[in-house]
Structure 1
Amino acid sequence: MINSNGVHVSEDQAVLKVDNRGYAYGDAIFETVRINQGTLLFWEDHYFRMMASMRMLRMQIPMNFTQEFLEQEIQSLIKVNKLKDQVVRAKIIVHRVSGGLYTPDSREVGYTISVKSLEKSPFYTISEAPYEVTLFKDYYIANDLLSTLKSNSKLPNILGGIFAQENGFDNCILLNTNKMVLEATNGNLFLVKDNKIKTPPLSDGCLQGVLRTQLLRILEKFPEYEVEESSVSPFELQKADELFFTNVIVGIQPITKFKKKKYKNQVSKRLLGILNAQIRLGN
């Protein structure tokens, strides 16, 4: 079952009209939330990011779109699908209602929520399997605020994923139009060199990731690390001691190889332990 504008319907009965603006123009944003046995991880950050995205896209936010209402909608859908005691991935898509061409006839929105079992541990884990990446240079991401949103316009990420698949890599690293390192196809990138941890800034066009936000907050409490949000050149990747990317579903994914450089994962393991401790205490 899925939730379509507040109504539970089976997936095979759900209907998407051809003039749906999310489908026709990419006029939609989405949030992907991890739920551990009924607990929505980092829900407040997800909610406020979604509200900020809707305001930026000039969508009319419904009066009932409170944090409590949307959490209740997710929890109700989890219960209907009998996933209460599992680790679940919920996806909320908010689209502007049909009507108009490029310029919409209305600012009002509709929404859908879907849930799926992840069959994972309630806590994040790190795989020791090799994970090799390459640069994706066919297309670039604009370094502007629209690129920081989780919108339905993610063609560079899609094509980067296909490129990795076709060429035997586990993932691709995306670049912005200034040819600076931005992110992985599905997460924010972090570099570790000695005691410095560096990640591209939002001004370069990287996703305003929820787990990126969590890690930056955690790192503020550890003076032994020097944290820097600044542009990253492709050349810096091969000088790093560690590379990893983050998202709320996987947690922290260490990169083990880029070109001929191989990386360690000590810092990523430590950060994952701290992150799991935070989850245990109720994030």
Structure 2
Amino acid sequence: MICFNGEIINSKEFSLNHNNRYLLYGDGFFETIKYIPNKILFWEEHYFRIMGSLCMLRFNIPDYFNESYFIKNINKTILSNKLEKYPVRIKILFYRESKGLYRPKENKLSFLISCEPLNIIDYSLNKKGLSVDIFNDYKLGLNSLNNLKTSNKIVNVLSSFYNDDKNIDDCLFINEKNNIVESSSGNIFILLNNYLITPPLESGCINGVMRKFLINNSKKFNLKIKEENISSSDLFNAEEIFFTNVISCVNWVKNFRKKEYNNSYSIKIINQINEII
């Protein structure tokens, strides 16, 4: 079961017209959220990112698009799938329904909420660690659109083939200045000279919810975090590397090429996050 514009329907009943702007132009964005029984994790950060994305992509925002409206529809979707007692991955897709070519004839907004069960409630370390390399085939632009989770993720798709070809777990994206931006699965943090460094939003990285949460709570968690550009040489000098997203919290990188890393900060952050959720 899914929630389409506030109504619960069977997913088999949902379809998109062949002229839909989402299919033709990727005119939309999505939000991925983790739910555990009786709680939507990091909801405030998700809600403000949703509203910011709607504004930046120039959607007409209905007056009723408040926090309680989305919480009600998320919970309704979870209940309709009988998943309220389980951890759940929630995806909310927003797109423009309007006809027209690149310029919409009107600015009609639709949204769709879907969910699927996850295996565990608490976050845990990926004990095997990730093997990663740099994806050089295509570079990310230095613009604020890349901060959004837009529906055009073709670079992520192509990078998955690169991962298979290289027999690695994940890869790193670079921007037009050849700085490291993020991984295909989340934001990057490196431990260098006793600081956790993550690229600034100006680098073209996703404005990730977990990234933002760690930065905003760095004093509470006793973390020294800097937003600075990361070069490929920094990867060889770093003591630790991990990726962040709300589904996994932290994904520890074991090695970049022949360079290996420890995981002490990854473990520390996972434990701290688990204590507050």
Alignment TM-score, normalising by the size of structure 2: 0.97
Name the CA distance, whole Å, in 1 between partners of 2:38 and 2:164.
Answer: 34
The alignment-based identity, stated in percent, is 35
Moved more, 254-263 or 123-132: 123-132
Pairs aligned (count): 277
Letter in 2 for 1:31: E
1:56 partner letter: M
Q: Distance in 1 between matches of 2:167 and 2:160?
A: 11
2:252 corresponds to:
254
Local SS of the residue matching 1:219: coil
> AA paired with 1:107?
N
Contact kept? 1:19, 1:98, Cα under 8 Å: no
* 1:48-127 alignment runs, 5 A limit: 48-120=48-120, 122-127=121-126
Aligned to 1:3: 3
2:229 aligns with one of 228, 231, 252: 231
Q: Which moved more, 1:239-248 or 1:101-110?
A: 101-110
Residue deviations 1:162-215, cap 9 Å, x none? 211222100010111111100010100000024211000001110000000111
Contact kept? 1:38, 1:75, Cα under 8 Å: no
The answer on whether the counterparts of 2:181 and 2:203 sit within 8 Å (CA) in structure 1 is: yes
Q: CA RMSD in A?
A: 1.1
Q: Which runs of 4+ in 1 moved over 3 A?
A: none
The 2-side partners of 1:39 and 1:226 are apart by 29
Q: Deviations over 1:37-63 (max 9, x none)?
A: 131000111011010011001110111
C-alpha distance in 2 between matches for 1:95 and 1:147? 17
- Cα deviation for residue 222 of structure 1 reads 5.1
Mapped pair 1:147 → 2:146 = yes
Runs (5+) with no aligned partner, structure 1: none
List alignment gaps of at least 5 residues for structure 2.
Answer: none
Q: TM-score, normalised by structure 1?
A: 0.95
Contact kept, 8 Å, 1:241 with 1:264, in 2: the verdict is: yes
Within 1, Cα distance between the matches of 2:71 and 2:102?
Answer: 32
> 2:261: which partner in 1?
263
3-state DSSP of counterpart to 1:147:
helix
| Deviation by residue 1:18-38 (Cα, 9 ceiling, x = unmatched) | 122111111101100000013
Partner of 2:242: 244
